[in-house]
Structure 1
Amino acid sequence: ILGDLVQNPRFEADDINRERQVIKEEIKMVEDVPDDLVQEIFTQTYWRGHALGRPILGTSRTVGQLTRRELVSYFHRHYAPSNLIVAAAGNLRHEQLSELSRTVFGRVPAGRPAPTTRPPIANPHLKIRRKKDLEQAHICIGAPAFHQTHERRFAAYVMNSVLGGGMSSRLFQNIREKRGLAYAIISGLSAFHDAGCLNVYAGTATEKVREVVRLIVAELARMKEMLLTPTELQHAKDYLKGSLLLSLESTMSRMSHLARQEAYFGRHVSIEEIAAGVDAVTPEQVRGVARELLSAERLALTILAPRDNLKISRADLAC
């Protein structure tokens, strides 16, 4: 059934128009959720001029203009066996799945391989956008990070965990618990095929924006200057390994995990191998990664706020 869906979609005009309207409503929903919207604005500005900077949903204009012919043409160019990965998890045998996949997809023309794209160039911007019906200002600070298969990715994971990866992280403890300046404060890593980004998000009162920005930047500077304590390092490693195990509890998540591994690494990467990579990280490696990635001239800042006359400059990003 899945093979038939992938190989013989009908793309009925009524179905396309119905889905077009659903996507337009989803775009409006993002506009109404400020923490999502500030991330979207940041991404579009940070990866400006590259496919990574285009919204996944598209825009109301592009979705409205998309024709059935364009959709069918795109499908036949890209959804071919040479570009497909079949992943499955659960009570099955690999040999049987492989044979079934060859039977279902073996007679379909291979199609063209996915085109090679140029790596994106990050744009270390400073952007303030006004949205007058907000109660808070929403802050997004970003820096370049490693791509998905980089040999030092595990040190970057540990750095992110210590910085803002949970309730015991430095940002959460200093900005929320100690000072009460934000309810939501978190950092995250986005790793792609040939690029990556470390992102810090916070929501705070408009009059506290500059203070929160400076506190975030101070934590970035601290990451560059001081080695992690043994307790911090071990807690971050335990957090990462525990999060990995929890994320793979469902069969669906295990299937998705297998597909990502094949797409990025071309092989199965065991949980034990990932855990060993995390365990091998040293405080010196974390500080080295921080010093490489968290330079002031490479930081980017997007603010979504009810007013746009905020006194923020690049000097506030010095770390």
Structure 2
Amino acid sequence: MVQKTRLENGIRVLSQHCPNTHVVSVGIWIDSGSRDELPSMEGITHFLEHMFFKGTERRTTRDIAVELDILGGMSNAFTTKENLCFYGKVLDKNLPRLMDIFCDILLHARMDERELEKERFVILQEISMVEDTPEDYVHTVACEKFWKGHPLGHPICGYRETVQRFRREDILKFKDQIIHPEQVVVSAAGSVRHDELVEMVNDGLGRLRANGRGRPPRTSPEPVVFRDYIRKDLEQTHICLLMPGVSLHDEERFAVYILNIVLGNSMSSRLFQEVREKRGLAYNIYSFLHCCEDTGVFGVYAAVAPEKLAECFKVIWNEMEELIAGGVSETEISGAKDCAVGGMYLNLDSTDALMNRIARNEFLYGHEVAPDEIEKKIYGVSSENLGKWFARVFPDRVSILVVGPSDKQQVDLVMKV
């Protein structure tokens, strides 16, 4: 059972005690991500994430690294489209020390000019790394085109021109804006006593006050249908198909979860079996579903030999057509449901996954969502649910991006579909 306490300043503290373990996972979450950045400030959330670990009034950059390593667990941070989080997993006896470090970097990060310049170079290298990784590059460009003109389409790392422009005062002003008590959630799972966790958070963050208005109100994007080819000197050609997906509040999301498993998100899926196992056209082939609080994207990705582009694309397209024309058998649906439910419960054995789940449920729904409630929704999905939803997005709302060295004839066969 998840326990919840709201501090006087508005910070929410949530925890779930897990018996038979000596470890605890904890995260400090901010309800603001890259989609909340203003124009010309793309990438500043991710930049701030890096700068949190670059020294405080009490600790140098090295002190933070050494103290975290001494705890014997793991710690890290990440930025998503909708959240910023730093988290760790340690022995229960080391939780107070970890929380002291986390509270210190949240409140007292120095944002030193020299560290900022070093980290700027590091982030520019991170952007270059994405561009040098074809799969990451294709997804990044496809997302930009699909949500053109909307912050959800911007890469989380930002752009070279924006990262090069950020100054210390920009970072500090942005930090004050988003570190708003009402937007902070501390979640923990494992060997943790809720009252002790509340005391730690209150001691460390209880004096935090709002210095800004918090993140601006979010607006929903309108997906763009596009067809594009980017010629790039690569060993393979990469295909990415995108369609409007579902949000994390959409009741149809459970049907789309199952559709994703059936189409390409499992080894027994139609695409994996037909494209890879039967025809040997691609090593990497899958479908994917990314959901946000108010929108989402559903798609397919494959990497193929340049001369096999048109053939592979035709197989993918035919399999999607067959989903509507022939439907999905009860055997397929039943197996996909078992796969989804089994994966969910296996995930709940991880204190990291539980900690993540607790925070995300709080941000999205304001309360715990019981696993058996989700299980019931999944097992309630029918073949008709899948077909009705997919027919609304395929084929009329499919966007296509091809990146690689395939010749014009191969590309034209794809774009004319």
> TM > 0.5 between the two?
yes
Contact 2:264 2:286 in 1 (8 A): yes
Which structure 2 residue ranges, 5 or more long, are not aligned?
1-99
Q: Partner of 2:330 in structure 1?
A: 230
2:401 corresponds, among 285, 296, 302, to 302
Contact 1:129 1:305 in 2 (8 A): yes
Q: Partner of 2:225 in structure 1?
A: 124
Q: Considering only aligned residues, what root-mean-square deviation do their CA atoms show, in Å?
A: 1.6
Measure, in 1, the Cα distance between the counterparts of 2:178 and 2:153: 20
Name the stretch that deviates more: 200-209 or 112-121: 112-121
Letter in 1 for 2:249: T
Distance 1:229 1:79, change over 3 A: same
Instruction: Give the superposition deviation at 1:227.
Output: 2.9
Q: Secondary structure at the match of 1:36?
A: helix
1:195 corresponds, among 283, 287, 295, to 295
Q: Secondary structure at the match of 2:300?
A: strand
1:54 corresponds, among 149, 154, 159, to 154
Name the stretch that deviates more: 261-270 or 245-254: 245-254
1:166 corresponds, among 266, 282, 286, to 266
- Kindly indicate whether residue 104 of structure 2 is the aligned counterpart of residue 104 of structure 1: no
Measure, in 2, the Cα distance between the counterparts of 1:230 and 1:263: 35
How do 1:139-158 residues align onto structure 2 when only pairs under 5 Å count? 139-158=239-258
Q: Choose between structure 1 and 2: higher strand proportion.
A: 2
Q: Partner of 2:388 in structure 1?
A: 288
Q: Partner of 1:268 in structure 2?
A: 368
Measure, in 2, the Cα distance between the counterparts of 1:95 and 1:308: 64
Q: Secondary structure at the match of 1:88?
A: strand
> How many residues are treated as equivalent by the alignment?
314
Instruction: Give the superposition deviation at 1:315.
Output: 3.7
1:249 corresponds, among 329, 345, 349, to 349
Measure, in 2, the Cα distance between the counterparts of 1:101 and 1:55: 32
Tell me the percent identity: 36
Instruction: Give the superposition deviation at 1:90.
Output: 1.1
Q: Secondary structure at the match of 2:247?
A: coil
Which structure 1 residue ranges, 5 or more long, are not aligned?
none
2:312 corresponds, among 196, 212, 221, to 212
Measure, in 2, the Cα distance between the counterparts of 1:64 and 1:247: 39
Instruction: Give the superposition deviation at 1:122.
Output: 0.6
The superposition leaves residues 32-61 of structure 1 with CA deviations (integer Å, 9 ceiling, x where unpaired) of: 111111111101111110111111111222
Q: Secondary structure at the match of 2:283?
A: coil
Contact 2:309 2:406 in 1 (8 A): no
Measure, in 1, the Cα distance between the counterparts of 2:182 and 2:286: 39
Q: Secondary structure at the match of 1:183?
A: strand
The superposition leaves residues 237-274 of structure 1 with CA deviations (integer Å, 9 ceiling, x where unpaired) of: 11112222333333222211211111212111122222
TM-score (norm. length: structure 2): 0.72
Instruction: Give the superposition deviation at 1:312.
Output: 4.0
Instruction: Give the superposition deviation at 1:100.
Output: 3.8
Instruction: Give the superposition deviation at 1:314.
Output: 4.7
Q: Secondary structure at the match of 2:258?
A: helix
Measure, in 1, the Cα distance between the counterparts of 2:407 and 2:220: 32
Q: Secondary structure at the match of 2:412?
A: coil
Contact 1:129 1:308 in 2 (8 A): no
Contact 1:27 1:60 in 2 (8 A): yes
- Kindly indicate whether residue 121 of structure 2 is the aligned counterpart of residue 35 of structure 1: no
The superposition leaves residues 114-141 of structure 1 with CA deviations (integer Å, 9 ceiling, x where unpaired) of: 3212201111111111111x11100000
Measure, in 1, the Cα distance between the counterparts of 2:195 and 2:324: 49
Contact 2:307 2:406 in 1 (8 A): no
Letter in 2 for 1:109: R
